[in-house]
Each structure stands twice: as C-alpha cells, then as structure tokens.
C-alpha cells in the first residue's frame, strides 16, 4: 500500500494523456488504412461492374448463336452449302 500512496493525481493524468496520445495515433493509422480499403473496394466494385457487363454481353452473344437459323452452326452449314 505504501507504493500506491506515492502515486499522485499528476502522475495519473500524465499516464492518461500518454495513453490518449497513443490512442489518437492508432486512430489516425486506422483511418488511413480504412481509406485505402475503401479505395480498393471502389476499384473492386468498378472491376466487378465491367466483368458483369462483359459477361452479360457474352451470354447474349451465346444465346444469339444458339438460336435456330442463326449462329456459328447454321452459318457454317450455309457456307458449306454455298461452297458446294
């Protein structure tokens, strides 16, 4: 108990202020990292939108090719018939 009686309110305040400064530094670091993650998220979302647009385009093209009377199979047949 004798050791604890030597601690003054000034000592406690100094310790609290030191911890508070460290917490503020950590919060700044977290905020910087969060900004990086947000930027990466936006880039990922943009890439996903491009991918989805390309996928949709490809699927439409494939559906068009598989329709009766259209697409690679019938074009190949048409070309073969014309060449004969």
User: According to the model, what pLDDT value does residue 17 have?
Assistant: 97
pLDDT for position 73: 53
pLDDT at position 68? 85
Residues with Cβ within 8 Å of residue 73, at least 6 apart in sequence: 65
pLDDT string in tens for the chain (84-residue length): 455 578 899 999 999 999 999 999 999 999 999 999 999 999 999 999 999 999 999 999 999 999 887 655 545 555 544 554
Residue 57: both structure tokens together: 């385009």
């Amino acid at each position: 108990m004798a050791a604890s009686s030597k601690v003054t309110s000034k000592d406690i305040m100094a310790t609290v202020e030191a911890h508070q400064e460290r917490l503020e530094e950590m919060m700044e670091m977290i905020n910087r990292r969060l900004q990086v993650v947000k930027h990466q998220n936006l880039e990922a979302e943009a890439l996903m939108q491009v991918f989805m647009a390309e996928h949709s385009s490809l699927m439409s093209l494939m559906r068009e090719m598989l329709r009766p009377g259209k697409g690679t199979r019938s074009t190949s047949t048409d070309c073969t018939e014309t060449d004969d």
